[in-house]
Chain A
Amino acid sequence: MISFIVRRLISMIPVLIGITLITFILINVVPGDPVVNMMGKRVDAQTIANIRHQLGLDRPLYIQYLDFLFKAVRGDLGRSFYNHQDVMKTILQRFPTTVKLSLSSMAVAIVIGITVGIVSSVKQYTFVDYSSMIIALMGISAPVFWVAIILQLIFGLKLKWFPISGYSGIQSMVLPAIALGTRFAATIARMTRSSMLEVIRQDFIRTARAKGLSERVVIYKHALKNAMIPVITIIGLQIGGLLTGSILTETVFSIPGLGRLSIEAINNRDFPVIQGTVLFTALIFVFTNLIVDISYSFLDPRIRYDGGES
């Protein structure tokens, strides 16, 4: 197991270098100059040249990239072109908020998704199954911002149960968590259902039932555990997506998270912040996938990473 983790950690290095290089090329290829953007309606060639020089943007591109890379290795992601804040510090300030939002929405998604998935599979081809799957389909299809506005209107404006926007305690996280979690709940529900249906038809489940085990034990102890492998994969992939894909939810609910930081940086062509958030996000993705892979071995004893049978 340890050698597997070490191998995976080493393989991350070229991945991360590749990501930073692609990001660097993209931000320099895409039209939109940070200094021109900074200047707004007034433009003056001399001022632009001066600021570009002060920011080091007039250096050759490969020097700019290597400078970024060497500093990044030492944990220095530079300073924002706009507010001169330390990028690493800014990311670390925003990250806990995004983590809270992602985990709470994932909790919503897991509780709803797995419950609905199990019920649908157990009650296959019944009204409950059909209606759950129709609702799940609607959940997958509904855009996050639309769900968010509907929740704000009903539970914020009309019923006044939860704050409409802002980030102030657990109560303010309820609507964003539901808005962001709805789509994933639907995905998890569909995945759980199909995976459960596949497992339920296997011989060992028949054996379990033949042994006289109660249906509850058969479903929750034998079937569910085995059906969880693809579901865990989906959850793992989606945690990464949630951490980075919460931009719309953060914008609609005015939550100061990583998503908003990165989109503002892209709009403003704030290169150090773009590079920093992309690198940080890539790290999160890579580590999440590693954790998911490790979790397989706990869920399925047949999966071993240390030269054993897999």
Chain B
Amino acid sequence: MSTAIKETQKLIEEVLDAYPEKAKKDRAKHLAANDPSGQCSTCQVKSNIKSRPGVMTVRGCAYAGAKGVVWGPVKDQITISHGPIGCGQYSWWARRNYYNGQTGIDTFGTMHITTDFQEKDIVYGGDKNLHAALHELKELFPLAKSMGILSECPVGLIGDDIEAVSKKAAKELGIPIVPVRCEGFRGVSQSLGHHIANDTIRDYILGKGKLEKTTPYDVALIGDYNIGGDAWASRKMLEEMGLRVIAQWTGDASINEMGIAHKAKLNLIHCYRSMNYICRHMEETYGIPWVEFNFFGPTKIYQSLRKIASYFDDRIKENAEKMIEKYKPVMDAVVEQYKPRLEGKKVMLYVGGLRPRHTIGAYEDLGMEVVASGYEFGHNDDYKRTYPEMKEGAVIMDDATLYELEEFTRRLRPDMVGSGIKEKYSYHKMGVPFRQMHSWDYSGPYHGFDGFPVFARDMDMTVNSPTWDLIRRKR
């Protein structure tokens, strides 16, 4: 075992010391020193396991994964938060899944629609009101293409039969009604919600859309939620390559696109964690291959363009090379401008499904080093993909707590931290430059050739803002 690994292990042990015995034993399994080779047996973290009560996990719930992540962005579906008022309120237009359309008329993405459960619904059940609500919504929003019922905790606890209501209402209203059993107490994090949402796409929507003709270049862009326009920046590149993006899931997605992805020749998956399930299903059922790719930062973009092109004929391969040739000078100019300002800076990441590994290359393009990274709701396969991307001895964290993030920050002294809104302001108080890496801190896109310049600008303004120097008064 190398010194780097040993040192990090010692650091982790020190951090763990503050926990009570039981929690300490558990948390020890989720923190590790990185071994890129995968040889060291103690360097693998355990993941996708229940959070300990009381430790202040950053995680959310299945509803957040199903409504907030997967179904919420589908623009021409009415997504109903079924249950009490809060869940829909707190997740209302919080993820910036951009879309085109006229909100409230033919699209509904920025709306908060809820059955607002009252005590009587808990006592007598909410099915009757839900059925009536579906009818009311269809009257008020005649252009809705579908309705999704996203269950909150009580729905599952009181034994409501939303599947039966959906079936009945779908027949009456002539549009798909999708019951999603994503009650927040199910599973251990957002992750199960992704899976449940994938299954409902499979069962209620996939295979039912209209597509007049197909071409050998048809692809589906999967697991890009168009945060700050990411999917649009990615789509632009795929189209420039000569591919035809027949479906974009689920950022700016229409129900029709959700229904025709099975006609693609290849599924391109960006967020593996949240949508690998449906790709596997399409592979098994329709024989569609899928490929993971990474459009963060020029190095990974070039690799990904070539990887995607390898599935197609020479024309596409040539196009990919032409694009690299065309955009390389633009990317080089970005690096030339920002690298001198960011070179050698240390980054700590703690994010969601793909960014803890996918953004590493983009940071490295700017000369920065990711010294710690972790996932709120990653699984073993995510970590397996992460280890080789990071240096030996880097800290790997699974389901980190507020306490751990603070302690690791103190000890590793990163020059910037990329995490979520719940972490953001404690880092501001600590005087540690911080960037939200879920929502791009209201910026973006970060994907693709159009996204990297924005990424570079944002990391520079984060690390090099003069405001950090004001905290400690110079005397």
Q: Are both chains from one complex?
A: no
